[in-house]
Structure 1
Amino acid sequence: MKKKVTIQDVANELGMSRNTVSKALNGQKVPEKTRQIILNKAIVMGYKGISLTATNVNILKNKIHILIVTNKPLANLSFFMATVKGMEQYTEGKDVTLFQYMILDSSTMSHDSFNQYLSTNQISGIIGIEIFNDDIIQMILKTELPVTFIDCHRFINQFSGAFDVILMDNFYGIYELVQRLILNQTTKFGFIGDFTHCRGFYERFIGLKETLSNNGLTYNASYSITEPDYCPYGQVGWMLEQIQKLPDLPQAFVCANDSIAITVIHVLNQLNISIPNEIQVIGFDNISESEHIVPSLTTIHTPKEQLGQEAIQSVINRILTPGIPSRISYIRTSTLIRNSTK
């Protein structure tokens, strides 16, 4: 059962006294700016005991409609099904409704139909899941609605607007695993995945390169497969062809995500290359398949439901507090050592 949010919880979150928070939530006299900060935080946290005084009724009387924008059906984004579950858990019992809108291709999208959808459904804010296309990002930001992106364009800072970004900690998990392998005498590493595709992939790639550099090793691109992301990384036949093209094989492949790593394991098994004795494989995400592949995949666990909850809290906070600065937030990850590494 979900823990009930108390006045003390709100006070702790804001670093204020319980007495001040209690007064604000019960309609007693406090500075108006302080009241708004407390009310906004209480709503975001799901506190149920707010007094409907004249000072806060306008905030509470309107339902919040949040639009989840994707570029493919959520059913095809296995990682994000758990993320959306986290959103639904957070919004349960609150006056928040989730909608979904899919933009398959920037060349066929219609700004007018998108804006009409926003208007018809009285959308209050937008969560973009894996939206990396420049034109789609610009279209979303031009709505001037509060926006939170889950993962983002590699150069998201070039865009202006009222938005936040929620990311997994992509760097330190990779750093920790690569460091572990280096201490076990592994020196030749390849990266598999398009590191220009998104900020998450790029930070994982940088995690590999910096760990090598810090240990006096050099990243060798000839061990890597970094074709554009539209290439069929999930197809065993294509991956087999790419691995066979490599002039030499590394001692370890660091893969941009688990789906790619699982394809790599299938290929290495097909080539009768021993994992982990000849080549070790590292993934990222800890999707359910990573535990059942043979050998099981060493990976980085990402708390997917928490990611969804953080995204919802972020966009609601931006709805309730217009004009706050944009921010990029990271959620801590953890390493899982399984049988694909020594």
Structure 2
Amino acid sequence: MPSKRITMQDIADACGLSRNTVSKVYNGRGSVPQSTRNLVLQKAKELGYGSPAEKVFASPPSVGNIALLTCHLPSQLHFGTLFLSSFTDMISREGYALKIYEISQEELEKRQLPPHFVPEQIAGIVGIELFDPDYVSMLCHLDIPMVLTDSSAETITSLIECDYVTMENIAGIMAVIRRLVRAGARQIGFVGDYNHCGSFRERWYGYQQGLMVNGLQYDKRFCICEPDSSPYDDSAWLLSRINQMPALPDAFVCANDYLAISLIQALKKKDLSIPEDIMITGFDGTMQSAFTDPPLTTVKICGTEIGHLAAELLLNRIRIPSFPYSWTHVKSTPIWRESIRKT
């Protein structure tokens, strides 16, 4: 017998795992990969704590749960629809089931988990449309493996304690700026709340950098960057903002396709022609962007591939909790269409 009582924490430390993972093995709640179970069992035997572990391993749970936490379920105008399909396919192949929890405003403000979310029954978390940094911080301290895709604007400059995989934003916007300049643009505005989320903030950085490297000046008078809660889908509101500008810019770079489509509709009510009078670009590569009049130049997000990568990161985190956190950007690709002039 060992000279001191062996605890789950001792086993966790010896395996390089979290106590939560070892606890799942012993209490039979949640799912742990068989390779991890075998590691814990072997280490428990070496420490003189073999018999209890063997009893638990005799009937391991066959299915575990991955929790999707979100403030807004993705719509068709969001890359998350493709993300969820591929992510779910990947985790189901490993025996996990996806449970979806939509976080209410009250839960967000009080930093509360949704009802029926039982941490002991959750093997991992995937966060999408979670833009509150304090709520994300709370989730990071649950000691449950987690991967985020997009997050708050502050997240991209913070050392968060989880994996993070998202689309590449800066280079995509800079490529758009270069093409607009070649098409004759000298005054380029930006549309979208750059404080809304991490991807919007990076697209704003790309816009600023793109102007600088092409010798253009930033002028906030040509930007519409009100809070995301503003009525960006209201043509009258958009036109009121445009009418306050000292002149019409040569082009608008929009933070996503939804904003670009709303802007096109508003500009048409002003009897402006696109791209002859003004050029418009979006971001996301949604299906709808191909059917605007004119078809919208955009930057396509690889939602399916991001979903696969997020699943791989999370599954690896479940297997090896001590592995260094990874921040990954997946290349986005510009799609040149008729909403900008030919070069």
TM-score normalised by L of structure 1: 0.78
| The structure with more radius of gyration | 2
Instruction: Give the secondary-structure state (helix, strand or coil) at the position aligned to 1:203.
Output: helix
Give me the whole-angstrom Cα distance separating, in 2, the residues matched to 1:139 and 1:53. Answer: 27
Identity of aligned residues (%): 29
State the AA in 2 paired with 1:255: C
Instruction: Give the secondary-structure state (helix, strand or coil) at the position aligned to 2:147.
Output: strand
Change in Cα spacing, 1:61 to 1:240, as seen in structure 2 (3 Å) is farther
Match of 1:290 in 2: 289
Give me the whole-angstrom Cα distance separating, in 2, the residues matched to 1:252 and 1:93. Answer: 46
Change in Cα spacing, 1:113 to 1:129, as seen in structure 2 (3 Å) is closer
Give me the whole-angstrom Cα distance separating, in 1, the residues matched to 2:129 and 2:257. Answer: 16
Match of 1:86 in 2: 86
Note if contact 2:259-2:282 (Cα within 8 Å) is conserved in structure 1: yes
Match of 1:133 in 2: 132
Instruction: Give the secondary-structure state (helix, strand or coil) at the position aligned to 1:196.
Output: coil
Instruction: Give the secondary-structure state (helix, strand or coil) at the position aligned to 2:118.
Output: helix
Match of 1:99 in 2: 99
Note if contact 1:193-1:255 (Cα within 8 Å) is conserved in structure 2: yes
How many angstroms does 1:330 deviate by? 0.4
Change in Cα spacing, 1:237 to 1:104, as seen in structure 2 (3 Å) is farther
Structure 1 position 268 matched with structure 2 position 260: no
Structure 1 position 218 matched with structure 2 position 217: yes
Match of 1:72 in 2: 72
Structure 1 position 331 matched with structure 2 position 330: yes
Mapping of residues 166-315 of structure 1, within 5 Å: 166-315=165-314
Structure 1 position 117 matched with structure 2 position 121: no
Instruction: Give the secondary-structure state (helix, strand or coil) at the position aligned to 1:305.
Output: helix
Give me the whole-angstrom Cα distance separating, in 1, the residues matched to 2:152 and 2:35. Answer: 42
Note if contact 1:191-1:225 (Cα within 8 Å) is conserved in structure 2: yes
State the AA in 1 paired with 2:212: S
Instruction: Give the secondary-structure state (helix, strand or coil) at the position aligned to 2:79.
Output: helix
Note if contact 2:156-2:198 (Cα within 8 Å) is conserved in structure 1: no
How many angstroms does 1:157 deviate by? 5.8
Provide runs of 4+ in structure 1 moved above 6 Å. Answer: 50-53
Note if contact 2:77-2:286 (Cα within 8 Å) is conserved in structure 1: no
Q: Which segments of 5 or more consecutive residues in structure 2 lack a partner in the other structure? A: 1-13, 16-33, 42-56
Change in Cα spacing, 1:187 to 1:162, as seen in structure 2 (3 Å) is same
Q: Any idea what the Cα deviations from partners look like across 1:47-86, whole Å, max 9, x if unmatched?
A: xxx999955996x955342111110234476431121111
Give me the whole-angstrom Cα distance separating, in 2, the residues matched to 1:178 and 1:72. Answer: 31
Give me the whole-angstrom Cα distance separating, in 2, the residues matched to 1:52 and 1:315. Answer: 14
TM-score normalised by L of structure 2: 0.78
Supply the RMSD in Å over aligned alpha carbons: 2.7
Match of 2:45 in 1: none
Change in Cα spacing, 1:193 to 1:112, as seen in structure 2 (3 Å) is closer
Give me the whole-angstrom Cα distance separating, in 2, the residues matched to 1:236 and 1:107. Answer: 33
Instruction: Give the secondary-structure state (helix, strand or coil) at the position aligned to 1:117.
Output: coil
State the AA in 1 paired with 2:124: G
Match of 1:144 in 2: 143
Mapping of residues 27-38 of structure 1, within 5 Å: none
Q: Any idea what the Cα deviations from partners look like across 1:184-218, whole Å, max 9, x if unmatched?
A: 22110000001121121111111111111112211
Task: Report the count of equivalent residues.
Answer: 293
Note if contact 2:103-2:114 (Cα within 8 Å) is conserved in structure 1: no
How many angstroms does 1:230 deviate by? 1.3
Note if contact 2:280-2:297 (Cα within 8 Å) is conserved in structure 1: yes
How many angstroms does 1:270 deviate by? 1.3
Mapping of residues 149-168 of structure 1, within 5 Å: 149-156=148-155, 162-168=161-167
Give me the whole-angstrom Cα distance separating, in 2, the residues matched to 1:250 and 1:171. Answer: 22
